[in-house]
Structure 1
């Protein structure tokens, strides 16, 4: 494959301005970074939102709508990918693990996709992982996955399947055997999250080999391996992702001044390797959006 697409992951749930003061937080800042990343070569922007007052992760549909509207006012082609990852965290209380602790945010599956049903973006993430995440656990049961996936697809939105470990791929293959997905699966192989896939070339080769044969996939890394995994994914036939959700550094000792700067560096890496970046219109055609 001589062409691939780049997803800019703008902020996520865990990066903070204490780590990097350039992190976009308000809807205006997030939309600004999305548009700048598109100018630098991103075909897709992956979006979380934050409460502007507290800077904490939010699922407020109005915040998502403001970001999307601000992007669409300037750019109709850019592909918008909204997260549904919030609402799966369980924090066992120290005194009784059967009682939810203060970091728990478990929600019914319908509640996790309300912003998707209201806004109908091009793509929405669908996490398959149940895993230790920090000091808590993330829980995504098969009934919850099936319900969220059904609602996303019925809304005319393309699911992006998030894969954090080999068991997640086993769930994907189970769903494929059920003919659950209407189209070839759009997948992200997430490496570098502690207790999940380790960010190594061998890991990406292994994970790629487990995917359904018709999968369209992106591999990416977090932290110090974010840019090395850009090269690895491209060389192994995948698409690429970069942004301040996944890393706060542009290079050793240099904090990223913006998501655009990270996209520009990733674009240079794949250009040096001989790959072209697909435009949003080309990706829309490839993905049937």
Structure 2
């Protein structure tokens, strides 16, 4: 078991919508407050996507990231910030010519996907290794593009959190580590419950965790109704934990959550009742070697 358990709160995500939860944070003020609420409830890390304040649709607008980070830092300088670089990898083939991008495609240059990271220099940002089917669409993260982003993250002295959706992703991540393209020890997230990736089962999470380098710090999580079961499973297997409105809109079956603070409180309660000890942001920095 981990001596101290890091809670990450993923407050909005990219795919959750207001149809899933009418209170999904969207404006910089709402997202910042969600992060602060999660921190008050025990989260050491806030994982952040931004949204268009008017439509609540996903956005990569640098100004929205700047304002969100500014609002958080005005009230909390300890909380560890983890900015996404996931958006920008989705490809939707047009129906008449699959070689042409159709509506919904977000595929962009890797340099553009890390623009906000280079400007804001958070402690952590995500680095997705998955190329996979996603509904009727495809997410594309080629080794070349992942390598470009990894190099830019290193130059900016931002630690990448390796997002791993299936076994092949872990193989590619290990290749990057072996080649020195990413520094060890790695920080990894094992994502379960995304269709055509790892299923949300104890066997799948245990298998994925065994594939990781032995010195890696890792978090396992599930989405939807398996968010809390996989949170506990991650801790039982020796990992850290994650929760938030990116992963689930519900605090209990049929009951929408009041928000990210409530979800984080439940996560903390579950881990502490099982005997775990929650890491503060300062302790999380030491565990992840963010100041090294």
Regarding TM over 0.5, the answer is: yes
1:229-244 pair list within 5 angstroms: 229-244=230-245
State the alpha-carbon separation in 2 of the partners of residues 62 and 184 from structure 1.
32
Cα distance in structure 2, aligned partners of 1:59 and 1:19:
21
Structure 2 contact 177–184 (Cα < 8 Å) conserved: no
SS at match of 2:150: helix
User: Normalising by structure 1, what TM-score?
Assistant: 0.99
Q: Which residue of 1 aligns with 2:97?
A: 96
Distance 1:288 1:185 in 2: 10
**What residue number does 2:47 align with?**
46
Q: CA deviation at 1:173?
A: 1.0
| Per-residue Cα deviation, 1:151-180 (whole angstroms, up to 9, x for no partner) | 011101000000000010010111111021
* In 2, Cα distance between equivalents of 1:126 and 1:140: 9
Separation (CA, whole Å) in 2 of partners of 1:103 and 1:127 = 19
Partner of 1:66: 67
Instruction: Give the number of equivalent residue pairs.
Output: 289
Q: Deviations over 1:54-102 (max 9, x none)?
A: 2111111110011101000001100000000011000001111001101
Q: Does 1:147 align with 2:158?
A: no
Moved over 3 A (4+): none
Work out whether 1:170 is the aligned partner of 2:171.
yes
The gaps in structure 1 that reach 5 residues or longer are none
**What does residue 114 of structure 1 align with?**
115
Query: How big is the shift at 1:53?
Result: 1.5
Partner of 1:205: 206
Distance 1:37 1:140 in 2: 30
Give the SS at the match of 1:277.
Answer: coil
Deviation of the 1:31 alpha carbon:
0.4
The structural deviation recorded for 1:15 is 0.9
Question: Does structure 2 retain, via aligned residues, the 8 Å contact 1:2–1:274?
Answer: no
Pairwise CA distance, 1:182: 2.1
Question: C-alpha separation between the residues in 1 aligned to 2:143 and 2:223?
Answer: 26
Aligned to 1:30: 31
Contact 1:37 1:263 in 2 (8 A): yes
Corresponding position of 2:277:
276
SS at match of 2:231: helix
Structure 1 distance, partners of 2:192, 2:32, is 26
Aligned residue for 2:188, secondary structure, equals strand
Tell me how far apart the structure 2 counterparts of residues 14 and 175 of structure 1 sit (CA, whole Å).
28
Q: Which structure 2 segments of 5+ residues have no match? A: none
CA distance in 1, matches of 2:198, 2:10: 19
CA distance in 2, matches of 1:181, 1:101: 33
Which runs of structure 2 are paired with 1:116-265 in the superposition (5 Å)?
116-265=117-266
Q: How far, CA to CA, are the matches of 1:228 and 1:3 in structure 2?
A: 19
2:7 counterpart residue number: 6
- Measure, in 2, the Cα distance between the counterparts of 1:179 and 1:149: 11
Shift of 1:287: 1.6
Q: Distance in 2 between matches of 1:195 and 1:183?
A: 29
1:101-130: per-residue Cα shift (whole Å, max 9, x none)? 011111011011000000000100000000
Q: TM-score, normalised by structure 2?
A: 0.98
Measured in 2, the distance between the counterparts of 1:21 and 1:216 equals 34
Post-superposition shift, 1:2?
A: 3.3
Give the whole-Å Cα distance in 2 for the aligned partners of 1:188 and 1:99: 32
